[in-house]
Amino acid sequence: MSETIQTLLQESRSFPPSADFVAQANQSDPGVYQQANADYLAFWEGWARQLDWIEPWHTVLDWSGAPFAKWFVGGKLNACHNCLDRHVANGLGGKRAIVWEGEPGDERTLTYAQLLEEVARLANALKALGVGKGDRVCVYLPMVPELAMTMLACARIGATHSVVFGGFSAESLYDRINDAGAKAVVTADGGWRRGGIVPLKKAVDDALAMGCPTVEKVLVLNRTGDAGTVTNGIATPAYDRGGWVDGRDVRWEDLVPNQSADCPCEPMDSEDLLYILYTSGSTGKPKGIVHTTGGYLTGVYATAQWVFDYKPDDVFWCTADCGWVTGHSYVVYGPLANATTVVMYEGAPDTPDKDRFWRLIEKHRITILYTAPTAIRAFMKWGTEYPDRCDLSSLRLLGSVGEPINPEAWMWYQEHIGRFRCPIVDTWWQTETGAIMISPLPGITHTKPGSATRAFPGIRATIFNDQGEDVSTEHMERVDRGEATHAVGGYLVITQPWPSMLRGIYGDPERFRQVYWSRFPGTYFTGDGAKLDEDGCFWLLGRVDDIMLVAGHNISTMEVESALVDHPAVAEAAVIGKQHELKGQAIAAFVIVRAGFVASEALVKELKDHVAKKIGPIARPDDVIITAELPKTRSGKIMRRLLRDVAEGRALGDTTTLADAAVVGALKDKYEHTEG
Ligand code: PRX
């Protein structure tokens, strides 16, 4: 950590927006921060008024004390209406809503009118399956237009969607289906990834076989279906082979196209659930983050409009999968609420070649690209020849999200992708915050490589020390007096409610209180460390808890440890995130095996596979080190800092509180021996 801080502090480059960009920006008045913060309720109310409401709210915010907030109380609206119907009613029916490309190269474009029609049919299909207002629907689909459609169709009829990323395993799916009590699952036979098929329906079958008593129906899209088998002249698509349960499983093509395209929007209370999205918790059990309708939509609508600076002709590509919050807020709800054209892409960035992203930009004349540092670092490694051979002149704005972006990657992005013409918005936020919280406004902010800069207007972010004291106010006062010479650091907190804030953890109000609101009572604790520099800019330093950021995805050390100890060979496991050139962090696991098991390469592989099977391929450890002992304090706590030192090959830190200092030395030898 200290090394990171040092590097960041030496970073003094600053890039003002160009005069041209300022002249056309949606927001270019630096006074907006002060205005918004002088009356943040009026500020957010102004945004909410730009949406269509069936009934107005009577109270902007009900905050009778942390942690339970209600926004736009008494108001009624429908999120799907605000993303589709109102644009069609406003004459934008012919505008492109979704431009999609599958990994094999198939393409599909849907105008707002076409998308509305498809969503209405699908909404009626869900109703025909018995799904109604308040029911939970688990969505396990590849990045195809039907994924966005399913989210919107649920919103239309007032059902709560719970999208599960297609890279999660059957067991993870099982946990999420049962936690949400999903009534239906929407899936596909599979999706394309790196030229292969990810077998989604198979995972659903396996999950349901483990016992998901609430699931009544499974709607199955035929995405990859080859001709399948032909028996007695009747073709069976590939996705029907094995596992098909008549009465439970329904083919998309048998049900959806026959439905009426007329499906009225369900009037939803501002505080009715829009969705649940699971994120890793440091205790290992995933947390079902709950978002409601009015505040969430207001937050994503506002932030998308100012941070991404949408204009009517923009073509916006957020590369995230809808299985993550970024896909919820900035593939579906934020851009569509703004009537923007969004690009969706199904597959990998290196299929068929490492220029796939740049080919997509060239072909679809994409103007705004929003991606993750882990992807940018991979592009850097692959080399500039790939972007250089493509026409990227349509780009005018670049975004980054998901983890801290190192200044080197930021500069590369600016030079080789933005070609010094595009501002970069490094956006900090979380599944829990629903919308962007800290980010440049591209028409105002002087950006700095590696800094997410300032809180969005109407958001109050600050830094607390261990004692819960706000260290930023005093810091800024010292800066004003010319006394501050360096940045202050501590815990990033949000001190005032915001419309798109999570409303809780599904079914577990106590955990909600404990995880986010107990460290500093009355204040939202983000779990991130941050620094504030002399210009009042935030520099995010990563998690301070046991959550790892692996390729921008949250995985808890506990989650991986429980998966490991679930294996019969494992007696004890300690997992840490070690620095990784491309992924930001990679998973390293230190494992003690039970008597009777022999440490071998085969066992190491088996343990890696086991974790991938339990959680999903994204959680597969890079390293599994089998050891006889783990470094523990005298009180028995595993010293993860030392394990990190070992895994990252650094000189050993202070070992004086160790029960047996020799353990670490032995581990280090072993690690260096195993590596590579
Ligand atoms: O640690 C922060 C990191 O990602 C965490 C949130 O992860 P998740 O809920 O999966 O949402 C990711 C997409 C919004 C944060 O607590 N993080 C996210 N964006 C940034 C970031 N860290 C530094 N800079 C960012 N721009």
Q: What is the pLDDT of residues 446-489, one digit of tens each?
A: 999 999 999 999 999 999 999 999 999 888 888 888 886 678 89
Does any ligand 1 atom lie closer than 6 A to the CB of residue 279? yes
pLDDT of residue 637: 83
CB atoms within 10 A of CB 226: 11
Q: Give the distance (Å) from ligand 1 centre to CA of residue 488.
A: 20
Tokens 């929407």 -> residue:
186
Q: Give the distance (Å) from ligand 1 centre to CA of residue 402.
A: 4
- Token readout for 465 is 């020390």
Does any ligand 1 atom lie closer than 6 A to the CB of residue 123? no
Asked if 431 and 325 count as a contact pair (C-beta separation under 8 A), the reply is yes
> Where along the chain do its domains lie?
112-263+276-292, 551-675
Does any ligand 1 atom lie closer than 6 A to the CB of residue 321? no
Out of 554, 555, 618, mutate this one to test ligand 1's pocket (max ligand atoms within 8 Å of CB): namely 554
Atom of ligand 1 nearest to the CA of 432: 9
State whether residue 287 is helix, strand or coil: strand
Give Cβ neighbours of residue 295 (< 8 Å, ≥ 6 apart): 69, 71, 72, 270, 271, 434, 498, 499, 500, 501
Judging by beta carbons within 10 Å of its beta carbon (0-12, 13-18, 19+), is residue 63 exposed, middle or buried?
A: middle
Asked if 169 and 612 count as a contact pair (C-beta separation under 8 A), the reply is yes
Does any ligand 1 atom lie closer than 6 A to the CB of residue 543? yes
The sign of the torsion formed by the CA atoms of 111, 201, 370, 396 equals negative
CATH architecture, domain defined by 551-675: 2-Layer Sandwich (3.30)
187: enclosing H helix or E strand = strand 184-188
How far is Cα 329 from Cα 309, in angstroms, rounded to an integer? Answer: 15
Q: Give the distance (Å) from ligand 1 centre to CA of residue 134.
A: 29
Q: Give the distance (Å) from ligand 1 centre to CA of residue 274.
A: 21
Helix then strand then coil, in percent of the chain rounded to 5, is: 35, 25, 40
- Burial readout 503-537 (b: 16 or more C-beta within 10 A, e: otherwise): bbbbebeebbbebbbebbeebbbbbbbbbbbbeeb
Judging by beta carbons within 10 Å of its beta carbon (0-12, 13-18, 19+), is residue 95 exposed, middle or buried?
A: middle
Does any ligand 1 atom lie closer than 6 A to the CB of residue 308? no
Q: Give the distance (Å) from ligand 1 centre to CA of residue 626.
A: 31
- Token readout for 99 is 């431009």
Q: Give the distance (Å) from ligand 1 centre to CA of residue 363.
A: 30
How far is Cα 339 from Cα 661, in angstroms, rounded to an integer? Answer: 61
Q: Give the distance (Å) from ligand 1 centre to CA of residue 600.
A: 37
Does any ligand 1 atom lie closer than 6 A to the CB of residue 538? no
Atom of ligand 1 nearest to the CA of 436: 14
Out of 401, 494, 583, 618, mutate this one to test ligand 1's pocket (max ligand atoms within 8 Å of CB): namely 401
Residue nearest to atom 6 of ligand 1 (CA): 430
Q: Give the distance (Å) from ligand 1 centre to CA of residue 403.
A: 5
CB atoms within 10 A of CB 6: 10
Residue nearest to atom 7 of ligand 1 (CA): 430
CA dihedral 233, 239, 245, 249 (to 10 degrees): -110
CA angle 243, 244, 248 (to 5 degrees): 120
Q: What Å distances lie between residue 349 and 107, 228, 255, 322, 410, CA to CA?
A: 16, 29, 33, 16, 19
- Token readout for 178 is 């049962």
Q: Which residues pair with 549 in a beta bridge?
A: 554
CB atoms within 10 A of CB 13: 13
Does any ligand 1 atom lie closer than 6 A to the CB of residue 431? yes
CA dihedral 72, 77, 78, 82 (to 10 degrees): -90
Q: Give the distance (Å) from ligand 1 centre to CA of residue 132.
A: 33
Atom of ligand 1 nearest to the CA of 553: 10
How far is Cα 316 from Cα 413, in angstroms, rounded to an integer? Answer: 17
Atom of ligand 1 nearest to the CA of 542: 1
Asked if 642 and 652 count as a contact pair (C-beta separation under 8 A), the reply is yes
- Burial readout 290-309 (b: 16 or more C-beta within 10 A, e: otherwise): bbbbbbbbbbbbbbbbbbbb
Does any ligand 1 atom lie closer than 6 A to the CB of residue 367? no
Does any ligand 1 atom lie closer than 6 A to the CB of residue 325? yes
Asked if 215 and 183 count as a contact pair (C-beta separation under 8 A), the reply is yes
632-647, pLDDT tens digit by residue? 888 788 888 889 998 9
Atom of ligand 1 nearest to the CA of 547: 1
Phi/psi zone of residue 551: left (φ > 0), alpha (ψ -120 to 50 degrees), beta? left
pLDDT of residue 415: 97
Atom of ligand 1 nearest to the CA of 554: 10
Out of 163, 374, 428, mutate this one to test ligand 1's pocket (max ligand atoms within 8 Å of CB): namely 428
Tokens 């032909």 -> residue:
230
Asked if 598 and 547 count as a contact pair (C-beta separation under 8 A), the reply is no
pLDDT of residue 8: 59
- Pairing mode of beta strands 229-231, 234-236: antiparallel
Q: What Å distances lie between residue 582 and 96, 99, 379, 542, 569, CA to CA?
A: 35, 29, 9, 15, 31
Asked if 470 and 143 count as a contact pair (C-beta separation under 8 A), the reply is no
Is the overall model pTM greater than 0.85, yes or no?
yes
Out of 540, 547, 550, 556, mutate this one to test ligand 1's pocket (max ligand atoms within 8 Å of CB): namely 540
Kindly give the parts of the chain with pLDDT less than 70: 1-10, 226-242, 484-485, 651, 675-676
Residue nearest to atom 25 of ligand 1 (CA): 428
Nearest CA among 488, 490, 493, 495 for reference residue 532: 488
Out of 370, 401, 429, mutate this one to test ligand 1's pocket (max ligand atoms within 8 Å of CB): namely 429
Residue nearest to atom 11 of ligand 1 (CA): 430
Residue nearest to atom 23 of ligand 1 (CA): 404
How far is Cα 29 from Cα 43, in angstroms, rounded to an integer? Answer: 15
Does any ligand 1 atom lie closer than 6 A to the CB of residue 551? no
Nearest CA among 276, 275, 265, 335 for reference residue 300: 335
CATH code given to domain 112-263+276-292: 3.40.50.12780
Single-letter amino acid code for the residue at 13? R
Nearest CA among 393, 402, 399, 389 for reference residue 369: 399
Residue nearest to atom 21 of ligand 1 (CA): 403
Does any ligand 1 atom lie closer than 6 A to the CB of residue 577? no
Measured between alpha carbons, how far apart are the two ends of the chain, in Å?
25
Rg (CA), the chain: 25
Single-letter amino acid code for the residue at 513? R
* Phi, psi dihedral angles at 473 (to 5 degrees): -60, -50
CB atoms within 10 A of CB 404: 23
How far is Cα 48 from Cα 527, in angstroms, rounded to an integer? Answer: 29
Nearest CA among 152, 101, 88 for reference residue 122: 152
pLDDT of residue 272: 98
